Amino acid sequence: MNSEQVLEQLLMELREMRARLEEGPSLPAALKRTRAARELSISVRKLRDMERSGDILTCEIGDSTMIPRSEVERLSAPVRSTPKPRTSGGRPRARSSAEEAQALRRALRKPKD
């Protein structure tokens, strides 16, 4: 290997290291409850409630219950949802406004003798 090839190899390694640093620090494969709660910006109590309800999976490593990195990443990922259409009064209308107006006019008419 000549010096030019060694230099190219070193430059490639430096670029890979820079890309990893720009991504931010990576999490360990499994996190203790306190670290997982801190990463998710929730309390340890809330995390335990999520464990009991089955919203988050845990793993046993030795005598410790830990949270897998994949679960922390899944819960911290942004969720895209479609906005719900707004309705007046919180309930969708059963009839169109024209039909509603006609029904109101009929109800307000004086009965014919």
The whole-model pTM stands at 0.50
Residue 91 has pLDDT above 70, yes or no: no
Q: What is the pLDDT of residues 22-62, one digit of tens each?
A: 776 678 889 999 999 999 999 999 999 999 999 999 999 89
Residue 95 has pLDDT above 70, yes or no: no
Q: Return d(Cα 94, Cα 66) in angstroms, integer.
A: 51
Across the range 69-78, mean pLDDT stands at: 87
Q: Where are the domains of the chain?
A: 30-77
**What does pLDDT average to over the chain?**
82
Return the pLDDT at 80: 67
Closest CA to 42 of 78, 79, 66, 75: 75
What token pair was written down for 50? 């999520």
Residue 66 has pLDDT above 80, yes or no: yes
When computed from its CA atoms, the radius of gyration of the chain, rounded to whole angstroms, is 30
Count CA within 13 A, CB hemisphere, residue 58.
19
